[in-house]
Every structure is written in C-alpha cells, then in structure tokens.
Structure 1
Amino acid sequence: MNRKQYLRGLRVGIPISLGYLAVSFTLGITAKNAGMTALQATLTSLLVNASAGQYAAFTMIAANSGYLEIAIMEAVTNARYILMSCSLSQKLPSTAKLWHRLVIGFNVNDEIFGMAIAEEGKLNPFYYFGMMTIAMPGWALGTFLGTSVGNILPPNIVSALSVGLYGMFLAVIIPAAKKSKIIMGVVAVSMAASFLLEWAPLTAAIPSGTRTILLTVVIASLAAVLFPVKEEAGCDA
C-alpha cells in the first residue's frame, strides 16, 4: 500500500515539478543579481523550499542586510507554514511515525499542501513523500538554470513564467469547490477579503504574508465553527 501511494505521489507531483521549474527560474535570476553562485542558490532551494522566503532573503542579501534583519523577515514571511503544518498534523493518521512527520515538515509548501489537504480521509505519508521526491528537484533545477542562464532570456518571457503557479492553484481549488458549496463559499469569501485588504488604506501597508495569515485564521475559524466536519468512525484505518 505504501509503495502504491508513493508512486501515485510521484505522478501527481510531475505537474507541480514542472510548475516549480518555470517559477524558480526567476528566483535563480534574483539570486544571481544578489551575487550568489549557481551552487549557493541551488543549495538554498533544496534546503528552504519557500518561494516568498527565498525572494525576500535574496533581496535582502543584495541590499547587504544584517543576519538579524534577514532572520526576522524570514520568520514573518514563512509564518504561514506554521498554519499549514498544524493542518497537516491533523490530516495524518494516528499511526504516522515521528520520522514521517519530520520528513513532511521539512517540505511544507503551498502546492503540495493543497494536494495533500484535498485527499479524502486521512493522508498517507508516502503519498506526500512521492510528491516531494519529484517536486523538490524541479524547484532546485529551475533555480540552477535561472542563476546560470536566466539573464539571456527576454524580460517578458521571464515574467510570463511566473504565471504557471496560478494555474496550479486553480487546479487544486476548483475540483474541491465543485464538490462542496461550503468550500466554494469559503474560496469566494477569501478572494474577496484578500482583494479588499490589499487596497484598504488601513491594511494595505501590512505585509502580504501577514495579511494571508490573518485571513487564514479568521476565515478558517469561522468556517470551522459554522460548518464543522464530523469525523467518521474508523478513519485512521
């Protein structure tokens, strides 16, 4: 069963990996502009796996920021992964071992998280491992290529590459929304609230990562209170 789930994760992870390859290409260009070598940038992508966090770090490195400043910025930028990790911890079966949780915790990111949460019932850790196995090299390879040869591409082509992840998000959200009116409503409210906070005078100055965390906590809490999900007996089996 674990082998079957791992292979399924590999198949599901292929489009994620291709999307990462395109998007991290621009990340590699940012790393090169910050004075990093291809090896340094690629190693960062293998160890961090956080697009917004890496962009913020490379930008601050280019500005010669101090270690403490970078550490604080990374903590704020990547704080949303704490919420994702808490959600995944509830999604795993009670039989999941500590090393399963540690490996999953090493690579919690938006796209893989979305596919994991979309699973019906409990999450088999090996399904997640399969997605990690194929997606992580795609992110690192894209970073390497962007650092090595990114500056030879026209700027409009590089900009267009970043559209890929938006398509991936839609592919995760739409099927779940079609199955549940509650999820569709939550998605619609989230999009509207995000747009309003982006332009409202009192919240426009708040970093986007912080706004995302606030919206996630508030909307998810309201949805959990108003539309609780009943646990089915034997769901860990």
Structure 2
Amino acid sequence: MNHKTAFRQGMTDGIPIALGYMAVSFTFGIMAKNAGLTAFQAVLLSLTNLTSAGQFAGLGIITASASYIEMAFTQLIINLRYCLMSCALSQKLDQRTPFFHRFFIAYGNTDEIFGVCSCKEGKLHPFYSYGVIAVASPGWAFGTFLGVISGSILPGRVLSALGVALYGMFIAVIVPPSKSSRIIAGVVLVSMAASLIFTWLPLLNQISSGFRIILLTLLIAGGAAALFPVRTNDAQ
C-alpha cells in the first residue's frame, strides 16, 4: 500500500471520530469560555493536548487557580494510559519504521484513534495514522471553537446530550472487533465488569481514574495475552 492510498483510507476512517469529537469538544469549548479562556486559548489547548479527560480536568484546575505542579501531576496520572497504548501501537508498526514516524503518531494517539489503528488488519502504515489524525484532530479543535463562540446559548439538556457522545464513540470502536472475535468480546465484557467493581466497591473506588485504567489494562490485557496468545503469523 502506497502512502497516498493509506492516507486516504485513514482520512475516511477518521471522519466518524471527527464528528464525535466535534460534539464532545463543543461542550469543552463552553466550559473553557466559562473558565475565562478566549477562543484562541481554548483552540490552542485542544490542538496541543488532544485529550478529553485531561483537558476537562485541566479546566477544573485552572478554575481553582491551582499550582503548575498540581496541573502537571494530574495530567500525568490521567494521561499515563497513553504510554501503554503507544507501546501496543508500536508493535503494529514495521520494525523498520523510522523514529520520527513513531514520534508524530504518538501525538494523535487518543483512545478512539488508537482503537481504529490497532484494529487495522496487518501492519500499521504510518500514513494511515496520519490520515486519521489529520481529520480527527481538526474536528476536536473546531468543535472547541464552536463551543466557545456559540455554545452558551444552548439549553442545559442539549449540553448534557452532547457529553454522552464520547461514550458513543467508545462503543463504535469496540463493537466491530467484538462481533468478529469471541475472545475480544469476552475481554470487553470482563473489562466492563471489572470497571464496575472498581467503581462500586469501597477502597477500590478511591483509586484515581487514570491509575484505574492502567491497572485494569495491565491485568485484563495481560491475562488475555497469556491465556489466548496470538501467533506472529496470525498478527501479520
């Protein structure tokens, strides 16, 4: 597959992500405006961070006038899961892929983009990832911009509905591979049950969301890898 074909395929697969991002970041834009950020500041924040949970948490810290150290530590915990995602995604790339490709792909390694790229059959072409990022990232920034300039006129019920769009994107990412593999479907169900347990049980629900994701990812993904190993020939 040449660079142009891979890039076009990535752009096509990135359109649904961009549409979902616009809905979610619209809400972020409204919150950014209420926190005192200008349209330029909010859009720049979305372009340089590209992380919904981190940005929403960051706004709360900005509003509370907390220290830079608290901001840095919070972002580290919330976004630490991307280290695991990047390690997993790097295994999809050809060993001869130059470092600068891995560097730029890491910028757009969000939950949804990771899901789409990791489910791509065979080795991951760097330009496929670039195509997804080229559509999804501007969608997130543009939704932020729309939220800042016009979101304050919408009623609260509409804003709450827009906030659910992020979960809709997660469902769209996991359903197709779950249909084609009972093992993946089982892993998804176990993940949902474990997440529910960590949310309800005392002591466990005191673990931050960032560390909770990392812990569950290591336990469940590691267990699945040990019980159902994928041969190299099957992964090609």
Q: TM-score, normalised by structure 2?
A: 0.97
Q: Which amino acid aligns with 1:92?
A: L
Cα 1:234–1:174 change in 2 (3 A) is closer
Paired residue type of 2:207 = I
Given that residues 122 and 235 in structure 2 are in contact (C-alpha distance below 8 angstroms), is that contact kept between their aligned partners in structure 1? Answer: no
2:158 alignment partner AA: I
SS of residue paired to 1:204: helix
Q: CA deviation at 1:29?
A: 1.4
How far 1:95 moved relative to its partner? 2.4
- For 2:62 and 2:235, how far apart are their aligned partners in 1? 50
Per-residue CA deviations over 1:104-160 (Å, capped at 9, x if unaligned) read: 011110101000011112111111100000111110011111112111100110110
Identity, in percent, stands at 53
Higher mean displacement: 89-98 or 19-28:
89-98
**CA distance in structure 1 between the partners assigned to 2:165 and 2:36 by the alignment:** 26
Q: How far is 1:167 from its partner? A: 2.0
In 1: Cα distance, 2:173 partner to 2:141 partner: 22
Residue 58 of structure 2: aligned partner:
57
Which AA in structure 2 matches 1:133?
A: A
Q: Which residue of 2 aligns with 1:67?
A: 68
**In structure 2, distance between residues paired with 1:25 and 1:217:** 32
1:118 aligns with 2:119: yes
SS in 2 for 1:39: helix
Between the aligned partners of 1:82 and 1:34, the Cα distance in structure 2 is 29
Q: Could you say what secondary structure the match of 2:205 adopts?
A: coil
* Aligned residues of 1:30 and 1:59 also touching (Cα < 8 A): no
- Judge which range, 172-181 or 36-45, deviates more: 172-181
Q: Residues 41 and 184 (structure 1 numbering): CA distance in 2 closer, same or farther, change over 3 Å?
A: same
Displacement after TM superposition at 1:99 (Å): 1.4
Looking at structure 2, the residues matched to 204 and 29 of structure 1 have their Cα atoms a distance apart, in angstroms, of 29
Aligned-partner Cα distance in 2 for 1:6–1:170: 24
Q: Give, in angstroms, the shift of residue 233 of structure 1.
A: 8.6
Give the CA deviation at 1:34: 1.5
Tell me the TM-score normalized by structure 1.
0.96
Structure 1 residue 234, shift from structure 2 partner: 10
What residue in structure 2 maps to residue 81 of structure 1?
A: 82
* Residue 46, structure 1, aligned to residue 44, structure 2: no
Q: Distance in 2 between matches of 1:43 and 1:121?
A: 35
| 8 A Cα contact 1:13 1:135, kept in partner | yes
Q: Is the 8 A contact 1:80 1:213 kept in 2?
A: yes
C-alpha distance in structure 2 between counterparts of 1:182 and 1:201, whole Å: 30
What per-residue deviation string (whole Å, max 9, x for no partner) do you get for residues 33-52 of structure 1?
22111100100100100000
Structure 1 runs (4+) deviating above 4 angstroms are: none
Aligned to 1:185: 186
In structure 2, the gaps of 5 or more residues are none
- Letter of the structure 2 residue corresponding to residue 70 of structure 1: M
The one-letter amino acid paired with 2:189 is A
Q: Comparing 164-173 with 147-156, which one deviates more in the overlay? A: 164-173
What is the aligned-residue RMSD (CA, Å)? 1.3
The number of residue pairs the alignment matches comes to 235
Amino acid at match of 1:188: L
Which AA in structure 2 matches 1:109?
T
TM-fit CA distance, 1:210: 1.4
CA distance in 2, matches of 1:198, 1:162: 20
Q: Which residue of 1 aligns with 2:211?
A: 210
The reply to whether residue 18 of structure 1 matches residue 22 of structure 2 is no
Give the structure 1 partner of residue 139 of structure 2. Answer: 138
Q: For residue 68 of structure 1, report the CA deviation from its aligned partner.
A: 0.6
